[in-house]
Structure 1
Amino acid sequence: MRRVWSMLPFALVGVALLLDPGTAGPAWWNLVAQVVLFTLAAAVPGHLTRHVSYVDVAWPWGLVAIGLVTLFTADELTVPTVAVALTYLAMGARMGLWSLVMTVKHGWWTPGSTKVELPRYLYQRRRWERQGFRSEAWSVQYEIWLQGLANASVLAVPAFVVAADDQRPLSVWFWAALVLWAASYVLESVADRQKQRFAAGGKRGTCDRGLWRYSRHPNYFFQWMQWNALVLLALPSLPARFDDTTPLVWALLTLGLFFASWTLYVTLTKHTGARPAEYYSLRKRPDYALYQATTNMFFPGPVKTPRQGAE
């Protein structure tokens, strides 16, 4: 029942997208696209290999699907609609191409191999044990389809709410949100590149250079900020949804919009992001405990002394 309750908010927001006349068309197409994508790219190979890692292939390409659905189902290709679609395409393609490289590198297709599962999903197995979940096959499918449900619901809300508002004028708010998204996208890429250069340079220990000096996970932070920018981008279009649908559906869409930010925050800090990454970093790097004591985990901030502690 715990897992059913965790899926309920996503399901309610998904239903709201399907019931709102302005978002129903793209929501149905997106639902079909996510089901097909997650079945073929994650659920089936996940069943054969018992690897959750396939979700890292399905979910970014699911963002690409949201962007394409937004473009091809819009009644009118306004500047805001095209802009929000392109943000999804850019985010999804960037992570999706990386996931394909990792698929080849780790050989996730190998039946029965447990050594190639990504560390964050090995950490998930520890959670399953603590929570008393005994069926590995069911747990793998739950993790995969929870993300699929998120792609079909809360993560699609910003795009479909913007696209449904074809009378929206351009404003300073729109451009500010778009600039915030672009800056966050670039800074996430910079953080990843800084980490790659550190590793490629043969340096041992923990990367504390560049953006990593101010946050232990700057790539995660700026990924989260991209979603906050999308929420801000969609906010001015919410009043138009109130005029076209019922108060209950409008309330669910509004909650879904903010839940998109919350979902990414929890995922990136606790579920499959910072927490499992740090669990293994502490065991691999002797200097990581000091890094934890002097550097904020998520939100960038000044370097601290060990006595002050960290976020």
Structure 2
Amino acid sequence: MAPPSQEAPVADTPSQRPIKRFSASIVSVPIFVAMLVDETTRTFAIVNAVAQLTLFLVVACLPAWRTLRMSYVDIAWPWGLTVLGVQVLVLGELSPFTAVIACFYLVVGGRMGLAALTLWRAGEFDKELPRYRFQRLRWKRTSLGSERVDLVAEVLVQGWANCTVLAVPAALAVSADKPAFSAVTAAGFVLWACAWALESTADMQKLRFGAASAKAGVKRSCDAGLWKYSRHPNYFFQWLQWTAVVVMCLPELVDHFGRTNLYSAALLAFGLVGCSVSMYWCLVSYTGAIPAEYYSVQKRPDYRDYQARTNMFFPGPARTPSRTAR
């Protein structure tokens, strides 16, 4: 597939309604309902919803309303993941399985949360981050009528994800009855550990490349190390971590089908798959690769050539411009 167009997003036609903008959130409503209906996940669903709403209102919604910047959601969302990890430890039966699921949320959320706090303290949130400036281009025909309302709504979309699709592994861990650490769970854990290490490696490679470029006084596109094989290896390995947690939870999902009603179990299965699918969509289209590249081609003269020879998301060998892939 050819590199994505770097033109501004095409606005929806006048007949399209703002509800289309939140279709992914609407689709995930049955997942939350399933957690409420299932008595093994009901308490978790309620406690988590209250915790996430409180966190997002205080950390992101109120600052967004006051400053007209939604970048603060980069603090709220990852710390919302750590809240999920804490709930697994508090509400679940302590076992190797629940421990690794809690560890996943605490490590993934804590890493990004601490990085976001570092950026905030350095003043990076005094201006809107590019990926959230990009969102405004998408709101032209789907606005709710007020910039402040638009901002708060977008913030709550991420909070809702922490209550639904991204909470399903935690819900399965909390509801586990005599959870066992199976070979499948172990394989998922190894995959997660490798993906986490490779994401960290990609981030460090880009930091070193950026420092060297700044020292040389040039603007260059990073193609060192893992960036030689993917334009966004950090995003790819972040997505792979969410795919790994899906694998870790598969044995418990199968067991869940035998302990609860088919409706709830099927919707939790849908939500578990949604962890991987929704993170792919987010990291490619929503706040990830495509928004980043919209600005990269404007800032770096060599970026289009980098696009022509390097896959956007899935790692692969360098190619000639005639051999394109996503």
Aligned to 1:233: 248
Equivalent of residue 287 in structure 1, options 302, 310, 313? 302
SS in 2 for 1:289: helix
SS in 2 for 1:174: helix
Aligned to 2:122: 105
State which drifts further: 16-25 or 182-191.
Answer: 16-25
State which drifts further: 247-256 or 128-137.
Answer: 128-137
Aligned to 1:41: 59
Q: Counterpart amino acid of 2:89?
A: L
Q: Report the Cα distance in structure 2 between the residues aligned to 1:161 and 1:90, rounded to whole angstroms.
A: 18
Aligned to 1:278: 293
Q: Report the Cα distance in structure 2 between the residues aligned to 1:130 and 1:2, rounded to whole angstroms.
A: 11
Aligned to 2:165: 154
Check whether the contact 2:74–2:116 (CA below 8 A) recurs between aligned residues.
yes
Alignment of 1:1-311 (within 5 A): 1-74=19-92, 76-106=93-123, 108=125, 116-131=127-142, 134-201=145-212, 202=214, 204-311=219-326
Report the count of equivalent residues: 304
Q: Report the Cα distance in structure 1 between the residues aligned to 2:182 and 2:248, rounded to whole angstroms.
A: 10
SS in 2 for 1:307: coil
Structure 1: unaligned runs, 5 residues or longer: 111-115
Check whether the contact 1:52–1:117 (CA below 8 A) recurs between aligned residues.
yes
Deviations 1:271-299 (A, max 9, x none): 11000100000000010001000000000
| CA root-mean-square deviation | 1.5
Task: Work out the percentage of aligned pairs sharing the same amino acid.
Answer: 46
Deviations 1:112-142 (A, max 9, x none): xxxx000000000111115455421121011
Check whether the contact 1:268–1:274 (CA below 8 A) recurs between aligned residues.
yes
TM-score normalised to structure 1 length? 0.94
TM-score normalised to structure 2 length? 0.90
Q: Counterpart amino acid of 1:78?
A: S
Deviations 1:257-281 (A, max 9, x none): 0011111000000011000100000
Structure 2: unaligned runs, 5 residues or longer: 1-18
Q: Report the Cα distance in structure 1 between the residues aligned to 2:47 and 2:149, rounded to whole angstroms.
A: 27
Cα 1:141–1:21 change in 2 (3 A) is same
